Amino acid sequence: DGGITQSPKYLFRKEGQNVTLSCEQNLNHDAMYWYRQDPGQGLRLIYYSQIVNDFQKGDIAEGYSVSREKKESFPLTVTSAQKNPTAFYLCASSNSGSQYFGPGTRLLVL
Amino acid sequence: AQTVTQSQPEMSVQEAETVTLSCTYDTSENNYYLFWYKQPPSRQMILVIRQEAYKQQNATENRFSVNFQKAAKSFSLKISDSQLGDTAMYFCAFRNRDDKIIFGKGTRLHILP
């Protein structure tokens, strides 16, 4: 079954804690992306990667980090430096045409 | 800067009616892609339709069609015979030469029974 998976569906973060959101795709896409969506808003690009072992900052990269060690995986770490992390996080991948999205992770701060 | 503007924050139409969602964009590029995405209450982003800028023919996907006006930088979405399941947020998006996609702020569409 081809697609993009994100885990967990819900994630709770304590103050000062780093948390990692998982994104996996089996579509053989080269490019992968992370977006943040705040309530009633559009999507803002955090980081993207066009090829393994390479990634670029998006519009709101501060307080986030990523890695791209495998083509299939693009995990996002929300660090303690991100002071307002509560949001819905969407991962996407692209075949140099359309982007396809995972189901998202809802991050909440305790 | 490249931007995507959706001027209708919210719309409501009766079931079975036709509705058109507006989108304008700004770019100096000549070759690019445009998309409409649907985000239902589940929050899953679903690709509805895409248009390559070099194609003059408007894209269609079943009940969904676009009116692409390249010179005017306009890309509206028409939903025919609207159904209750069409209720969702709709995002217009533009893909630039760097493979980044820029999204509009969305239009919340309500289909009324």
The pLDDT confidence band at residue B11, using thresholds 50, 70 and 90, is very high
Q: A97 vs chain B: nearest CA distance in angstroms?
A: 8
How far CA B85 is from CA of A52, B66, B111, B113, in Å, comes to: 38, 19, 8, 11
- Residue A2 has what pLDDT? 65
Give the residue from B64, B14, B1, B13 showing the smallest Cα distance to B37. B64
Q: Where are the alpha helices (DSSP H) in chain A?
A: none
Query: What is the tens place of the pLDDT at every residue in B50-102?
Result: 999 999 899 999 999 999 999 999 999 999 999 999 999 999 999 988 888 99
**Cβ contact A98–B33 (<8 Å):** yes
Give the separation between CA A55 and CA A35, rounded to whole angstroms.
14
Residues of A in contact with B104 (CB under 8 A): 42
Query: What is the tens place of the pLDDT at every residue in A52-85?
Result: 999 999 999 999 999 999 999 999 999 988 889 9
Query: What is the tens place of the pLDDT at every residue in A11-60?
Result: 998 888 999 999 999 999 999 999 999 987 889 999 999 999 999 999 99
> Nearest-CA residue of chain B relative to A41?
B105
- Say yes or no: B25 contacts chain A, CB-CB below 8 A: no
Give the tokens for residue A54.
């390479």
Top-confidence residue, A93 or A95:
A93
> Nearest-CA residue of chain A relative to B49?
A98
